[in-house]
Amino acid sequence: MFTDLPEYPWQSLKPFSEKASLHKDGVIDLSVGSPIDATPKVIQDALRNFSNAPGYPSTAGTLEFRESVAAWFETRRKVPGIHPDQVMPTIGSKELISWLPVLLGIGKGDVVVQPRVAYTAYAVGAAFAGATLVSEDDPEKWPANTKLVWINSPGNPDGKVLSAEDFAKAVAKARELGALLASDECYAELGWSEPWDNEVIPSVLDKRVSGDSHEGILCLYSLSKQSNMAGYRAAFAVGSKQLIKDLVNLRMHAGMIMPLPTQQAVIAALGDIEHVRVEKEIYRKRREVLLKAVRSYGFELSESQAGLYLWASLNEDCWITVEKMAQLGIVVVPGSFYGEFATQHVRFSLTATDEDISRAAGRLENALG
């Protein structure tokens, strides 16, 4: 009767969280990527100012909302020419990720492709639709019956950034197969390694990637990370006018609507870049502290060019590493949560307080002393 999904993976971390909590100086949870810093005042003010919202909001989003997204893509992602009719608000990005295969009419016998190391929601969406899931980064190996391809750059959990050339190859193959290529890009403002510490991380909407048309592609973006708005469920999607029109129609029937006060908060967030710069510097300092300690302990870092995580390995089964970290009172995520190709990695999150990051770093640096 119910979709055949395994138990939510974080449940299997509970014994290790309990073990970590026994540490004499307390537990430090670096497993969950949920922001802990305050939502910027400019965003909170916008929410309060529009809290009187007695009527139903528009599923398509207000024109002001859609224009603000288009303007943000031009100024921050170097993608000019987005028409407001190409923009759609979503109730966080995970909602659309999980339900997109169903909305597209994908079903049994169809293939959904995800990265070899992948955020868990892509698999959930394929399961909801009854589709076959394939984990493959090489476009030439995507099956002929592929209907949806997920690209995630910067990646969660690995922080991998795709070049415009790699993006373009993926788009070309998806179009050849007649599949929709959906690009999850919510960490794009958080580049760390060269060249992404100074250059704009490419978007699937970039002309170098998609050419003169946005047909066959969909870009998803969330403000949860860069603006500390996870509690607002504030995100949006951009694609061709027809695709967005069709998705909006389906969402109208299903009641998938971003509240008007949240739409106004998004407008405020996209119009204020200073708070993003401030938050990025906070994360930069945390990353430098934790990265030094992770390497000091003996971890090898993989990718981690952008985003809010360190993707690291001791070249052993990830659950052995999780156990070692729990003995230090630190909770990390096993790579096995992200697929069969990630079983020797763990994910450290940067979404902890300065104090907890420093405490975790101290434990790692002193552990082998």
Predicted confidence at residue 4, as pLDDT, reads 64
Q: Which of 24, 119, 122 is nearest to 333 (CA)?
A: 119
Look at 6-15, 33-42, 76-85, 254-263 and tell me which has the smallest mean pLDDT.
Answer: 6-15
DSSP string, 179-233: PEEEEE-TTTT-B-STTTTTSPPP-TTSHHHHTT--TTEEEEEESTTTTS-GGGT
Q: Comparing 9-38+275-367 with 43-272, is the CATH topology the same?
A: no
pLDDT digit string, tens, across residues 75-133: 999 999 999 999 999 999 999 999 999 999 999 999 999 999 999 999 999 999 999 99
Among the CATH numbers 2.30.140.10, 3.30.70.20, 3.40.640.10, 3.40.50.620, which is that of 43-272?
A: 3.40.640.10
Predicted confidence at residue 1, as pLDDT, reads 46
Domain boundaries, the chain: 9-38+275-367, 43-272
Predicted confidence at residue 368, as pLDDT, reads 77
pLDDT digit string, tens, across residues 202-239: 999 999 999 999 999 999 999 999 999 999 999 999 99
Whether residue 198 is predicted with pLDDT greater than 80 in this model: the reply is: yes
Provide the mean pLDDT of the chain: 95
Predicted confidence at residue 83, as pLDDT, reads 98
Predicted confidence at residue 11, as pLDDT, reads 82
At residue 7 the predicted structure's pLDDT band, cuts being 50, 70 and 90, is: low
CATH T-level topology, domain 9-38+275-367: Aspartate Aminotransferase, domain 1 (3.90.1150)
pLDDT digit string, tens, across residues 265-309: 999 999 999 999 999 999 999 999 999 999 999 999 999 999 999
What predicted TM-score, i.e. pTM, was given to this entire model? 0.94
Residue 84, preceding peptide bond in cis (omega within 30° of 0): no
Predicted confidence at residue 316, as pLDDT, reads 98
Predicted confidence at residue 81, as pLDDT, reads 96
